Chain A
Amino acid sequence: MSPAADRPLLEIERLEVEFDTRRGVVRGLRGVDLSIGRGETLAIVGESGSGKSVTAQAVMGLIDVPGRIVGGDVRWKGHSLLSRSRARQARDIRGKEIALVFQDPMTSLNPLIRVGQQISEVLRRHLGMTRADADLRVLDLLEAVGIPAPPRRAKQYPHELSGGMRQRVMIAMAIACEPELLIADEPTTALDVTIQAQVLELIAGLQETLGLSVLLITHDLGVVAGLCDRVAVMYAGQIVETGSAEDVFERPAHPYTQGLIRSTPRLDDHMERLVSIDGAPPSLLAPPPGCAFYERCPIAEARCATLPPLIPIPNRTAGSVACWRATTNAWDSASVPPGELRAV
Chain B
Amino acid sequence: MGRFILRRLGQGFLVVLGVSLVVFVAMRVFGDPAKVMLPLSATTEQRAEFEHLIGLDRPLPEQFVTFIGELATLDFGDSLWQRRPAMEVVFERLPNTLMLVGAGLGFAMIMALPLGALAALRPGGIIDRVTVIGGLVGLSTPQFWLGLLLIMLFAVQLRILPTSGIGGVSHLILPALTLALPSMARMVLLVRSQVIDELNQQYVKTARAKGLRFHQVLFGHALRNVMIPFITLAGWEVISALAGYTVVVESVFAWPGLGHTAIQAIQRNDLFLLQAIVFTVAIAIVLVNILLDVIYKFIDPRIKLA
Contacts and interface: CB of A to CB of B under 8 A. Distances in A.
Contact of B203 (A60, A92, A109): A109
Q: By CB atoms of chain B within 10 A, which of A100, A110, A113 has the most?
A: A110
B205 A108 contact: yes
B202 interface: yes
Interface stretch (B153-161, B179-187, B211-219): B211-219
Interface in A87-132: 91-96, 99-100, 102, 104, 107-113, 121-122, 125-126
Contacts of B224: 110, 112-113
B157 to A, nearest CB: 44
A95 B202 CA distance: 16
Contacts, number: 77
B298 to A, nearest CB: 10
B215 to A, nearest CB: 12
A112 B206 contact: no
B15 to A, nearest CB: 30
Contacts of B201: 107
B211 A110 contact: no
A60 B301 contact: no
Contact of B212 (A60, A95, A111): A95
Contacts of B300: 111-112
Interface string B207-235: 11111110010001100110000000000
A307 to B, nearest CB: 32
Nearest to B212: A125
Given A125-B216, A159-B301, A108 B206 contact: yes
A93 B213 CA distance: 12
Nearest to B206: A108
Band of interface residues on A: 20 to 34
A109 B209 CA distance: 12
Q: By CB atoms of chain B within 10 A, which of A61, A93, A122, A159 has the most?
A: A122
A96 B211 contact: yes
B8 to A, nearest CB: 22
B219 to A, nearest CB: 12
B302 interface: yes
Given A112-B224, A112-B300, A121 B210 contact: yes
B299 interface: yes
Contact of A112 (B210, B213, B225): B225
Given A125-B216, A159-B301, A159-B302, A109 B206 contact: yes
A173 interface: yes
A324 interface: no
Contact of A110 (B203, B209, B299): B203
B79 to A, nearest CB: 48
B277 to A, nearest CB: 39
A91 B206 contact: no
B212 to A, nearest CB: 6
Nearest to B210: A95
A171 to B, nearest CB: 12
A320 to B, nearest CB: 29
A112 B229 CA distance: 14
A277 to B, nearest CB: 30
Contacts of B209: 60, 62, 94-95, 99-100, 102
10 residue pairs, one from A and one from B, having the closest CB atoms? A95-B211, A95-B210, A107-B202, A94-B211, A100-B209, A157-B301, A110-B203, A122-B210, A108-B206, A60-B209
Given A60-B208, A95-B209, A95-B212, 15 more contacts: A57-B205, A60-B209, A62-B205, A62-B208, A93-B211, A94-B209, A100-B206, A100-B209, A102-B209, A110-B221, A112-B224, A112-B225, A121-B220, A122-B210, A125-B211
7 contacts: A95-B211, A102-B209, A109-B203, A110-B207, A113-B220, A113-B224, A159-B301
Interface of A: 57, 60-62, 91-96, 99-100, 102, 104, 107-113, 121-122, 125-126, 157, 159, 170, 173
